[in-house]
Structure 1
């Protein structure tokens, strides 16, 4: 049972530690038993090769190991199709739980299926597994070798991270969203205070966030450089560690405006008005940061009764099949389609460039995803800007980044 007074990461590790000789303290190397391990299709072939190289053929418990096919739902070329075929066959040989193409993004599914439950320890072969902290779980993204070891043995090792509390004070402006807050924090603080640390977000503002908004905030934790993050739920039922020895950063968000991250780093975030007027020919709403029902609802509200700019492509990719169906029932998909948006099957979509639509050379893209590294969407000659779904939808209508006054 999670409790106040001790950093959450230490509480959860203590409940999962194997070598319990002594207290769990920052800096200590420990072996733990995860509650679940999940693999995404992008690195499944690498994991399969490691299995073959080391002569492995089983997993510690098939029901607790999942393969999620989310990065290449609409396979773009023959080589990728062959990779996905091999990944399918590998998962079948292992007899593990499989979430097929079109079911959604691994991290979104993990929340929907309850893999991210309070106090759980979950490993994922994707860096944004940190989104589990929005649900009280310790979500750890790991590389292929560590994931293979956990799949085979049911254990993994890690160094217990120190904890830093980020206490938000004040309230941002009406049009600002959680990602605006976090990317502003990154711009002003840099990664140094957060590297390989557990970050606990506190304060009245963060406690007021919906589940979807909390997930958006948590998914960007790895962009801070954090090992993991924790966001209390809107009822405040997930306590935060309040030990007096915690490092703490007070961050005043009073009056904080919507933002845009300029190419090619999330930390190059500026207030919206500083980027206003930048022509945009491709808007992408999706990714594990902003593809949930609340995000799609907001975009649909903005575009309803209007038309996407003639020179702009607006692509919307729901985070899961459940999100897609809920958005259909609520009329959001119809509103988006009527406005001229393209709605794709659920999954990661265009985020990592392993499937289309790819941006053209020299094209300016505005995306709601987590990263805008050069080449992130499959074309190093495209320029990727980042924003919230609210700003993205307004951009799709104007064909250019709007001002704060232009936001509905």
Structure 2
């Protein structure tokens, strides 16, 4: 049975379920981010509710606005804190980190569990085979109140990754290549089970990168196979008899670049060689873990960020930040000329600095490069892995495969 069917069945009475079926499930955990907490609080107020189904299973993360840029957002955060206090739920304060990164670190995602979050990249939990669902405010509020949610069981496709890429090609590059090769149509509102030797060998950090980009594929949820650093209880990924299998060959795949203004507008890095870059951002729930910070710090050690490049690095969590300090990564980044910020979503969403200037070309490790995503529709945002971003920060341009090798 497909993993998503198995999880939903276990949370809805135990009877087998089929794709397309509408079911009510019990949820294990629910979390909210500060940006939509006031909307959810209003739903609670409008329905005369002031409690949740389980205080230990509900959390509010303050990650989208860590350093408040204006009075309106400061007041919104104050409202969110008051709401959390009223409910008595767990609070992850400003500086704790990005909700999805911290949730993975702290065991909020467990194999076989259903976790709902009020942010689309909740799908990150698929790295450890949690049915992790980004949902809208109404669904999140209902789940917080009742511990239940209704779902349409998604169909499942198995994505078989064949071969291995170049040594300088990262997990982010492979997902961008899948988007470029297959598009979104085959994944829309489907559960995607990744498989193949390359996927099975991914570190947990890299697996989280792949899982976080599930929503960019258009998927309802994603599941990655067991591997190093994973919790107990993860299932072997094996297609159902007659199941739909998609194949993508990544043999000798080079790093990829997503051009403005879509994550699916993807080309090989060599097609973008020498494109000048004004601003490099390393961060977001997709590429802000220790492995990502290490890639950038190792390259920047003994080098300098170009005088005409603004290089911003935002660790995904306090734990990542502290370990990066211990390993000397933060010193290396700072000495090279990068600006390191407190953990959080940072520049990814564009509601706080650093916002790019008109005409800036930004090379970012985040997940989306929609027009205006970082707060300025007159800037161009390109997406890459942290390794490629580090090279661009030093040289002021997108490198070639040869440069990376």
Q: Same fold (TM over 0.5)?
A: yes
**Aligned-pair distance for 1:284?**
0.4
**Aligned-pair distance for 1:233?**
2.9
Aligned to 2:292, the other structure's residue is in SS state: helix
**Aligned-pair distance for 1:158?**
0.3
The equivalent residue for 2:341 is 344
Aligned to 2:348, the other structure's residue is in SS state: coil
The equivalent residue for 2:7 is 12
The equivalent residue for 2:362 is 365
Tell me, in whole angstroms, the C-alpha distance in 2 between the residues paired with 1:202 and 1:332: 32
Counterparts of residues 95-134 of structure 1 (less than 5 Å): 95-134=88-127
The equivalent residue for 1:179 is 172
Counterparts of residues 372-387 of structure 1 (less than 5 Å): 372-387=369-384
**Which piece of structure 1 moves more, 227-236 or 63-72?**
227-236
Q: Residue 255 of structure 2: which of 246, 254, 258 is its match?
A: 258
| Aligned-residue RMSD, C-alpha | 1.1
8 Å contact from structure 2 (residues 158, 246) kept in 1: yes
Q: Residue 62 of structure 1: which of 51, 55, 66 is its match?
A: 55
Tell me, in whole angstroms, the C-alpha distance in 2 between the residues paired with 1:161 and 1:62: 29
The equivalent residue for 1:3 is none
Aligned length: 401
Q: Residue 156 of structure 2: which of 139, 160, 163 is its match?
A: 163
Q: Residue 70 of structure 2: which of 68, 77, 86 is its match?
A: 77
Residue deviations 1:77-105 (CA, integer Å, cap 9, x gap): 11111111111111111111100000000
8 Å contact from structure 1 (residues 214, 233) kept in 2: no
Counterparts of residues 380-395 of structure 1 (less than 5 Å): 380-395=377-392
8 Å contact from structure 2 (residues 311, 338) kept in 1: yes
The equivalent residue for 2:322 is 325
8 Å contact from structure 1 (residues 8, 241) kept in 2: no
- Structure 1 runs (4+) deviating above 6 angstroms are none
1:216 maps to 2:213: no
Q: Residue 25 of structure 1: which of 1, 18, 21 is its match?
A: 18
Tell me, in whole angstroms, the C-alpha distance in 2 between the residues paired with 1:82 and 1:277: 44
Tell me, in whole angstroms, the C-alpha distance in 1 between the residues paired with 2:16 and 2:404: 51
The equivalent residue for 2:36 is 43
Residue deviations 1:268-320 (CA, integer Å, cap 9, x gap): 01100111111111100000000000000010011100000000011000000
Aligned to 1:350, the other structure's residue is in SS state: helix
Tell me, in whole angstroms, the C-alpha distance in 1 between the residues paired with 2:334 and 2:190: 42
8 Å contact from structure 1 (residues 178, 216) kept in 2: yes
Residue deviations 1:325-370 (CA, integer Å, cap 9, x gap): 0000001111101100000000111100121111111111110000
8 Å contact from structure 1 (residues 201, 232) kept in 2: yes
Tell me, in whole angstroms, the C-alpha distance in 1 between the residues paired with 2:143 and 2:385: 35
Tell me, in whole angstroms, the C-alpha distance in 1 between the residues paired with 2:88 and 2:382: 41
Q: Residue 140 of structure 2: which of 147, 156, 176 is its match?
A: 147
Identify if the C-alpha distance between structure 1 residues 30 and 200 changes in structure 2 by more than 3 Å, giving closer, same or farther: same
Gaps of 5+ in 1: 1-5
The equivalent residue for 1:271 is 268
Q: Residue 193 of structure 1: which of 171, 186, 192 is its match?
A: 186
Gaps of 5+ in 2: none
Tell me, in whole angstroms, the C-alpha distance in 1 between the residues paired with 2:24 and 2:235: 25
Aligned to 2:198, the other structure's residue is in SS state: helix
**Aligned-pair distance for 1:238?**
3.5
Residue deviations 1:125-172 (CA, integer Å, cap 9, x gap): 001011101012110000001001101111000001110000011111
**Aligned-pair distance for 1:234?**
2.0
8 Å contact from structure 2 (residues 200, 225) kept in 1: yes
Tell me, in whole angstroms, the C-alpha distance in 2 between the residues paired with 1:238 and 1:377: 38
